[in-house]
Amino acid sequence: MRTSVLFTVLAVALVIGTACKGPDGLVEGTATDTNAGLARGANVSGSTDTLAEGVVTFNTSNGAYGVTITHAPAAGPVDSIMLITATAAASINTATPSAILCSTTATCAAGGTATLVGAATLAGIKTSIRAYGTQVVFTTTNRATGGAMRGTMYPTGQ
């Protein structure tokens, strides 16, 4: 009797496990190149600015990005946005960015094309995003270390 219950549970787990797809379940191609991240002030260790919020979209096939700042940080205008290979729990105070999306207040107000840093590649950033290992970080002059807002990039599969 116990064996039949065990096999039933295993069969159900197998069906549910194959039906619930993560980003690796997406069909490879341009559908996996579209990514987005919601950055919030509340995600920054030591920040008291919990209202700050912004969204970044990023295309790993060509480096194109878009920015929407829904609530500007209290620390001042956003003057740089970068992608950093790190998990949500990791400290990013001394991390080197993989890509710089913008580096002046004027360019951070709109979209453009990212500048890759060092040996970073778009394929490497894509792999990191699909493993939930890329943070988008918005900084201001008054809150450069650790960022004013941060959040995890996710594949959107569009």
Q: Identity (one letter) of the amino acid at 117?
A: V
Q: Whole-angstrom Cα distance, residue 133 to residue 131? A: 5
Quick one: tokens of 50? 């919990």
pLDDT digits (tens, 9 = 90+) for 56-95: 999 999 999 999 989 888 878 888 899 998 877 777 776 7
Within a domain: 19: no
Within a domain: 5: no
Quick one: tokens of 128? 């990191």
The model scores a pTM over 0.85? no
Within a domain: 11: no
More confident residue, 3 or 157: 157
DSSP H stretches of helix in the chain: 2-19, 122-130
Q: Identity (one letter) of the amino acid at 10?
A: L
Segments forming the whole domain that contains residue 49: 24-155
Within a domain: 106: yes
- The DSSP bridge partners found for residue 154 are 36
User: How big is the chain by its Cα radius of gyration, in Å?
Assistant: 19
Rounded to the nearest 5°, which phi and psi values hold at 4? -65, -35
pLDDT digits (tens, 9 = 90+) for 122-132: 999 999 999 99
Q: How many alpha carbons fall within 13 Å on the CB side of residue 35?
A: 32
Count of structural domains, the chain: 1
Within a domain: 15: no
Within a domain: 10: no
Within a domain: 115: yes
Within a domain: 80: yes
